Amino acid sequence: MIAPPMSSTSRLVSRLGGGRQLVVDAVLLLAGLGVALLLVRHYLNPHDEGLVLQAAARMGDGDVPYRDFWWNYGPGQPLLLALLDRLPKTEPLMTWRLVRAAEDAFVAWAAYRLVLRETTQPWALGAWAATVVLMVVVRLPNPNATCAALVLLSLLLATRWPVAAGIAAGIVTLFRPELGLVALACLLIAAAPAARARAALAWLAASVVTLLPFAILAGPWAIVDSTFGFDLTVQPDQRLAFPLVYDLDFEAGTFLHFYLPALLMAGLALALLGLAVIRPLPRIVALAPLGLAGAAYLVGRADVYHLVPIVAAVPAMLAVVAAKTVRAGRARTALGVACAAVLVLFTVDGVLRRIDFVSDAPAVAGINIKQARWIQTFPGDVKETEQLRVLLDQRYPPRAPIFLANARHDDVRAGVTLMYVLMDRPNPTRYDVMQPGVVTRADVQREIVDDLRRTRAPVVRWMDPSGAAREKGSRRAGGGATILDQELATQYDVVATTGPYQLLERR
Give, for 498, the enclosing helix (H) or strand (E).
strand 492-498
**Tens digit of pLDDT for each residue in 226-256?**
999 888 887 777 777 778 777 777 777 888 9
CA distance 245 to 261: 12
- State the average pLDDT over residues 98-102: 97
Scored b (16 or more CB within 10 A) or e, 266-298 reads: ebbebbbebbeebeeebbbbbbbbbbbbbbebb
* Distance between CA atoms of residues 324 and 331, nearest Å: 13
- Whole-number Å distance between alpha carbons of 131 and 313: 8
**Residue 471: pLDDT band with limits 50, 70, 90:** low
Q: Is 100 left (phi over 0), alpha (psi -120 to 50) or beta?
A: alpha
Instruction: Show me where the domains of the chain are located.
Output: 15-359, 368-506
Identity at 64, one-letter amino acid code: V
For residues 272 and 288, the answer to whether their CB atoms sit within 8 Å is yes
Over residues 385-426, the pLDDT tens digits come to 999 999 999 999 999 999 999 999 998 889 999 999 999 999
Write the single-letter amino acid at 389.
R
- From 140, 234, 176, 203, select the one nearest 440 (Cα to Cα): 234
Q: Which of 13-17, 447-451, 462-466 has the lowest mean pLDDT?
A: 13-17
Confirm if 182 and 290 have CB atoms less than 8 A apart: yes
pLDDT of residue 362: 81
* Chain centroid, CA 356 distance in Å: 22
Query: What per-residue confidence (pLDDT) applies to 249?
Result: 73
Residue 473 has pLDDT above 60, yes or no: no
pLDDT at 1 over 60: no
- What pLDDT shows up at residue 17? 63
What pLDDT does 196 receive? 97
Please give the average per-residue pLDDT across 436-453, as a whole number. 95
Q: What is the pLDDT of residues 315-344, one digit of tens each?
A: 999 999 999 998 766 778 999 999 999 999
Burial 7-25 (b: 16+ CB within 10 A, else e): eeeeeeeeeeeeeeeeebb
- The model's confidence at residue 13, banded by pLDDT at 50, 70 and 90, is low
- Kindly state the DSSP code that residue 500 receives in the 8-state scheme: T
Please tell me whether residue 134 adopts helix, strand or coil conformation. Answer: helix
pLDDT digits (tens, 9 = 90+) for 110-145: 999 999 999 999 999 999 999 999 999 989 999 999
Q: What is the pLDDT of residue 253?
A: 82
Q: Is the dihedral of CA 495, 497, 498, 504 positive or negative?
A: positive
Contact between 421 and 57 under an 8 Å Cβ cutoff? The reply is yes
Q: Are 330 and 339 in contact (CB under 8 A)?
A: no
